[in-house]
Structure 1
Amino acid sequence: MTGVLAVDAVGVTKTYGDLVAVDGISLQVAQGEVYGVLGPNGAGKTTFLRMLFGLIRPDAGTIRLFGRTREESGTRALDGVSGFIESPKFYPYLSGRKNLAGLARLDGGAAPGRLEEVLGIVDLADRAGDKVGGYSFGMRQRLGVAAALLRDPQLLVLDEPANGLDPAGIRDMRALVKRLAASGLTVLLSSHDMTEVEEICDNVTIMRTGSVVYHGGIGELREQAPAQGHRVSTADDGRALELAARRPRLEVAAHPDGGLVARGDQADVDAYVTELVTAGVTIRGLELTEAPLESLFFMLTEATG
């Protein structure tokens, strides 16, 4: 199926009464890429993924998976597609291995050795005999990925796979997705974390209240991002702003929580800080604000009007 898109969504819309949950979204995911659907809670990400899996029907538009639509192919449209929506659920009184074995039987069986193979892929081989009730949240998330991999999919769909995880769990989940992507698997994941998407994804769609506010590559997104911000706390912000006015390549403005935010090239920020000290303006604090891509994400998704 070379050249056929893994996901080809055109004009997809879903409404609930007066609420437009997804508003005419179009996106294309090529085979072999890692694609992110990014947005805050309520942006419409999960609704879109539910339509992709056929759990709900769009009111308008078309979704093709490897060239197949639900209307044309029925459940066969999901051949080669696997994943989970929201957090995966398991029987807590059964072991991880027995949970997977039961799911495999429900799905028509798994290839010999596949169950142990996927447990190894998600780093759960040593805990496969333990009851899932004793698993951490991160382990259950990884078991969900293992369950999705049982059918050896071409497209893996993950809904906020790192949501609710502690820092170690987030690190492990990102490493797992990177390994899967390196194997050639197509991955479509949703997230509200710009850092997660930046580290993992090739291309991204950013959503706000059901609509698309950005389509494109991570590299193109970086080009649109503002310069890294530095929050500067001083004993005399008025004088600090006066000195900043002399530096046209530096943008300095009041921070809503107090102090100033300076944006510009690192060399310009360093020179500004040096000038403040030389002028006798006491600096009480200097720290980085959110990363440039994270800042752009907030600008895109929190805009009004």
Structure 2
Amino acid sequence: MSEPLAVHAVDLTKTYGPLTAVDSITVQVAQGEVYGVLGPNGAGKTTFLRMLFGLVRPDSGTLEVFGRSWQRDGVGVLDGVAGFIESPKFYPGLTGRRNLQLLAGLDGAGTDRIDEVLDIVDLADRHGDKVGGYSFGMRQRLGVAASLLRDPRLLVLDEPANGLDPAGIRDMRALVKRLADSGLTVLLSSHDMGEVEQICDDVTIMRTGSVVYHGPIAALREQAPAQAHRITTTDNAAAELLARAQGLEVARVEDALAVRGSQERIDALVAALVGAGIALRGLSLDEAPLEALFFMLTESAPPTPIRELDTPATSGAHQ
């Protein structure tokens, strides 16, 4: 008998008056994978996570966590589940360690794992500092530490990198990868395609409450448009003609050209420019392919998902 999915939501719907926050979505998260729920603000990501934690009751549909449901098992659904919705909150006048001690007492998790989780999130050397002096990224990592106190099988993180500076994003990304490597199932929401691409195995992309893509990141890459480059030369008019002759998509962007096509064709264009005596003053990557596809899906979504769910037996999750 196959192991149950970590999260199995089917036709989940939630409305608030005339607003449909989540519109009949289906999500399957296999055990041991890093799964991303991606979409712009207002897509319904946080509402979905609130339903998972029992903070919001769906109007229709079913939701199971490790084979348990709220209807059958009540709060037992959350056995082995931890995480936070939006940003974690702490007592700013208390140290990181003292905050964890209080949370462990409230949760009944015990304090024996505090040193371990502080080390996991790289806060062992700051445990005695008051949380009011922590950076935003440190507070986010302390939130992960608090979630890990109960030694969960599923960690749920709502926009864990939101509001972080580049260093904080790097640290959070590395932390999620370490947790995934330990075998923990991670379900995270994000509005950043780049963040999800680098750490997730599979993804659900949402727009205004509906699913517009569901499947592996690898399959999404296959549907992404070619990489775009921004090119500036001493003669953009001539460069545009050469680019079109190379079979590239070209658009004028201010004093440059946005050129989209395979890397081989871009290389051929650069060689043609040099051969024609046109100086190349600028060549840079513009919009990443997956980012371009994300905007295509979330700004003008098709009426049905561009890729249907795999069945549990054939999902792209790591076992």
Same-fold call, TM cutoff 0.5: yes
Tell me by how many angstroms 1:228 deviates.
Answer: 1.2
Query: In structure 2, what is the Cα distance between the partners aligned to 1:245 and 1:103?
Result: 62
- In structure 1, the gaps of 5 or more residues are none
The aligned counterpart of 2:113 is: 114
Establish whether residue 144 from structure 1 lines up as the match of residue 125 from structure 2. Answer: no
Tell me how large the CA RMSD over aligned residues is.
Answer: 1.7
The aligned counterpart of 1:276 is: 273
Tell me by how many angstroms 1:282 deviates.
Answer: 4.7
Judging changes above 3 Å, is the alpha-carbon distance between structure 1 residues 223 and 152 closer, same or farther for their aligned structure 2 residues?
A: same
Cα displacement string for residues 234-258 of structure 1 (whole angstroms, at most 9, x for unaligned residues) = 454443332233223x222233x55
The aligned counterpart of 2:290 is: 293
Alignment of 1:3-22 (within 5 A): 3-22=3-22
Query: In structure 2, what is the Cα distance between the partners aligned to 1:139 and 1:10?
Result: 36
Tell me by how many angstroms 1:304 deviates.
Answer: 5.8
Alignment of 1:75-90 (within 5 A): 75-90=75-90
Alignment of 1:197-216 (within 5 A): 197-216=196-215
**With structure 1 as the length reference, what TM-score do the two structures score?**
0.94
The aligned counterpart of 2:313 is: none
Query: In structure 1, what is the Cα distance between the partners aligned to 2:274 and 2:122?
Result: 52
Query: In structure 2, what is the Cα distance between the partners aligned to 1:251 and 1:136?
Result: 44
- In structure 2, the gaps of 5 or more residues are 303-319
Tell me by how many angstroms 1:279 deviates.
Answer: 3.1
Alignment of 1:52-131 (within 5 A): 52-110=52-110, 113-131=112-130
Establish whether residue 252 from structure 1 lines up as the match of residue 246 from structure 2. Answer: no
Query: In structure 2, what is the Cα distance between the partners aligned to 1:212 and 1:245?
Result: 36
Cα displacement string for residues 70-106 of structure 1 (whole angstroms, at most 9, x for unaligned residues) = 1111111111111000000000011111111111111
Which segment is superposed worse, 290-299 or 58-67? 290-299
The aligned counterpart of 1:266 is: 263
Matched length: 302
Query: In structure 2, what is the Cα distance between the partners aligned to 1:38 and 1:258?
Result: 34
CA contact (8 A) 2:159 2:188 kept: yes
The runs of at least 4 consecutive aligned structure 1 residues that moved more than 4 Å come to none
Letter in 2 for 1:5: L
Residue aligned with 1:245, SS:
helix
The aligned counterpart of 2:35 is: 35
Establish whether residue 220 from structure 1 lines up as the match of residue 226 from structure 2. Answer: no
